[in-house]
Structure 1
């Protein structure tokens, strides 16, 4: 609309929220498209993206290893690299997978089986835009979840309430929302029986002798319930609560930390009317005018993976195996290691990513990634500036610096003084008369270095931390 034009700022917003940023060429192409059609096509791409190919060890048990400790580490790193590759190749599917990973939390340190990690990640990819009820059902059967939340120890003679509690509190309803402690007790009884395992890291089977086959009352419904019945009853009896909880969480992650109740209400209605299919909910949100509202631009603090992968993407730097592992490692140092969230509730996100120590670490991380890329090929930074400026021979430092700022700062700098400081940083120690006479241009030997000076200046501004 005239009030909210389709411009580079909003195109960058779309790619940051539905992925991990985009290089300037992608944003330029986006501006030639209708924003609704573009968002629609990004959802289509996520739906049609092939699953990450299974590794050679997808079905390994402990007995298949020659050196478990050494091979375990190799396979763990291999799959995190595969995970990040999918985030880069299939941005929205990768972003959704990360979102649901932080919802249906498991921790690799608890189960220590690469085959379980692969199968867990596969379920995230398969169902991230699918039917949420099926998603809940399938996730509860993954070996990673059964081990992590003690389903493997849940038997009729020694019921364990961990999964039953988190099923309601974290995965479907929200804390203290529509369930009682007695519902948890009865649900735990219904979930007994997944206790048979023939080898470490092997399949987990249902053992009918460990299943409590007595009557249970869950949400007022009494019967000889098992796991499938629990999921059916949950969605039949608490559908509205589920819809509100899940749609609120989606909104906070993809739009704004503070929920707009009117928008969430509409999403929840769509969720229920479509039998808990996720795709219509995400389409409704991403294709809405509200999603591009001025008030939701640049209001979320980037997670470490959004920070590192976003910088590499927006700089259009090559992201080979070494850079992927560097992004994985540095993101972990900043508090976000894939497959190892902080606890069962996941990473709190947003402002929790920032503290006195993590802020300086975030600055240093981006500076280091920038330095590594500079050593590999400094000309990449000249190419970046030339593309953003729209003129490979530009001799206008303010125009070049302004274009770089627009690429990396979601809502621009907040005062004229910050822009002036940015221009000074970009000009470096080159005498002013070289700029005044037009002698300096982007073909100068110092241009790549000047770009890195400006990027490091921007990196240390609060606005750089936002998406």
Structure 2
């Protein structure tokens, strides 16, 4: 594939007719690179300042609204219990928890009888490579990764692991070795809340990255420029203003070439599942960089030379700004106007530099800031397919198979990967080296998640989950138990239709509904009936839970209500 194709793609807004909606590949294959953009997506970014707030500590009200906003951005679908618990603590205490990394999870497991290298229920990550079972291992790896997000605790680790995956991109389908893919994922998780510069060094010689961007083929006589170019353009300092053919204020073509020569000599070892350095393949001449890097020279440093290169790049202040902008678009909003650049990006970039590129202080300041809690930044992001799908599972309290039934558990995780694939996002396979377009394609950005292909897929998923039939696999069914969800609410809330609707709206929707919308939802729950009808029906069911007719009566009404709420435009926001 041409990994640079995204730079040449026609940015004209495309429209895909609904009749062109075709079945997407299974989660074992990456989604098509042919992006579909809604006709209603941005055609230009706003020019006026959205917010004047900066990174001063937030001192305003702290309750369920603010806690919900924080956790929606920091987690995948915070539950009602998590939001309520956070609202009962201080902002500082919650952020402290979010910045605490949990222990590394156990590796993915074999769940296919096709892979005879290890028994079902044991890990395959150290076994010999076998092309015949690479497909089932890749499915296992993707399912395992999604499972970590679905079963996350109160930590930013999983959200940041996915952030780094979208930043230091590889594609599982391209590297074709799930063992290397697992090591890559473990590396991202290890540094999720840690030092970005060290992560950049380690990812540079990571076996999966060497294979993905052809660093394993780079020699003194034929240096490969792929990784050197992406290291500068996409992973660190980014493009500044264009000043010549291929030359930017932040780096030049000569810098790409010099970086490529620095990185020669590295290879990946499929047997040992690691990378190694071969001195005879390394360019030992001096590498001279442009004025953008102060005309620095890197002399022969053997297998340590790549570290000098990364240190040189991270000595540029623009590297910190580039990284902070990506964090901002991940956690806050896609528009970075001049005011936000001055009041938020620049101080956070300086904070990142002052902390030697440790990301935690920046995340702490951003997520505790006046800017983050400004009303304009609440409920303004469109959920990614992963966020949307995981939120349904977590907030609706869907009961997934336990670890004791590992085949069924991985099967359901794999199913969710198939669901996000249909929505144009699957973990492990961003469409190209730049990551998912929703995080960089101007002026549409995350509006690209909603189009003629993906919106019906989202609705189909929520409709299936709220149905009694749900989804079955390996003899196990998952669906939303509407009655159990309502029974988890306080008694006085569950039996009052208006309190019930309001409570569900607070959980499921980041934006307050209007009185007209609330009235409409009341009519969905009780079409043409007075409020007391719900109270009586709910009370009757609780008194006779085994009565099929009474159970069906309340369940049908709740399913209709939840289906309608999940169909609201607000439900797609975070």
Same topology, TM > 0.5: yes
Q: For each residue in 1:147-168, what CA deviation from the matched residue of structure 2 results, as whole angstroms up to 9, or x when unmatched? A: 1111011111111111000001
1:422 is aligned to 2:521: yes
After TM superposition, the structure 1 = structure 2 runs for residues 38-437 of structure 1, keeping only pairs within 5 Å, are 38-44=94-100, 47=101, 49-55=102-108, 56-62=123-129, 65=130, 68-69=131-132, 71-87=133-149, 88-90=151-153, 91-176=155-240, 177-195=249-267, 197=269, 199=270, 202-218=273-289, 219=293, 220-225=295-300, 226-236=305-315, 238=316, 240-259=317-336, 260-261=340-341, 262-320=343-401, 321=409, 322-349=411-438, 350-371=446-467, 376=477, 380-388=481-489, 390-391=490-491, 394-413=494-513, 415-428=514-527, 432-433=529-530, 435=532
The question of whether the paired residues in 1 share the 8 Å contact of 2:493 and 2:503 is answered with no
SS of residue matched to 1:306: helix
The question of whether the paired residues in 2 share the 8 Å contact of 1:379 and 1:448 is answered with no
Give 1 or 2: higher helix fraction: 1
The question of whether the paired residues in 2 share the 8 Å contact of 1:270 and 1:280 is answered with yes
Aligned-residue offset at 1:191 = 0.6
Aligned-residue offset at 1:2 = 11
SS of residue matched to 2:361: helix
1:13 is aligned to 2:69: yes
Distance in 2 (CA, whole Å) between partners of 1:377 and 1:345 is 35
- Which residue does 2:565 correspond to in 1? 458
Question: CA 1:133–1:196 in 2, change beyond 3 Å: closer, same or farther?
Answer: closer
Aligned-residue offset at 1:358 = 1.0
In the alignment of these two chains, the number of paired residues is 452
The question of whether the paired residues in 1 share the 8 Å contact of 2:398 and 2:480 is answered with no
Distance in 2 (CA, whole Å) between partners of 1:319 and 1:17 is 23
Q: TM-score, normalised by structure 1?
A: 0.90
SS of residue matched to 2:107: coil
- Which residue does 1:440 correspond to in 2? 537
Q: TM-score, normalised by structure 2?
A: 0.74
Gaps of 5+ in 2: 1-56, 109-122, 241-248, 402-408, 439-445, 472-476, 542-549
Aligned-residue offset at 1:258 = 1.7
Q: For each residue in 1:142-186, what CA deviation from the matched residue of structure 2 results, as whole angstroms up to 9, or x when unmatched? A: 111101111011111111111000001000011245101100011
Aligned-residue offset at 1:3 = 9.1
The question of whether the paired residues in 2 share the 8 Å contact of 1:271 and 1:280 is answered with yes
Question: CA 1:276–1:432 in 2, change beyond 3 Å: closer, same or farther?
Answer: same
The question of whether the paired residues in 2 share the 8 Å contact of 1:155 and 1:195 is answered with no
Question: CA 1:434–1:89 in 2, change beyond 3 Å: closer, same or farther?
Answer: closer
Distance in 2 (CA, whole Å) between partners of 1:365 and 1:305 is 12
Question: CA 1:8–1:361 in 2, change beyond 3 Å: closer, same or farther?
Answer: same
Aligned-residue offset at 1:287 = 2.2
1:31 is aligned to 2:91: no
Gaps of 5+ in 1: none
Question: CA 1:8–1:134 in 2, change beyond 3 Å: closer, same or farther?
Answer: same
Question: CA 1:437–1:384 in 2, change beyond 3 Å: closer, same or farther?
Answer: closer
- Which residue does 2:36 correspond to in 1? none
Distance in 2 (CA, whole Å) between partners of 1:77 and 1:196 is 23
The question of whether the paired residues in 2 share the 8 Å contact of 1:52 and 1:82 is answered with no
The question of whether the paired residues in 2 share the 8 Å contact of 1:9 and 1:411 is answered with no
Q: Moved runs in structure 1, 4+ residues, more than 6 A?
A: none
The question of whether the paired residues in 2 share the 8 Å contact of 1:113 and 1:201 is answered with no
What value does the CA root-mean-square deviation take over the aligned residues?
Answer: 2.4
- Which residue does 2:443 correspond to in 1? none
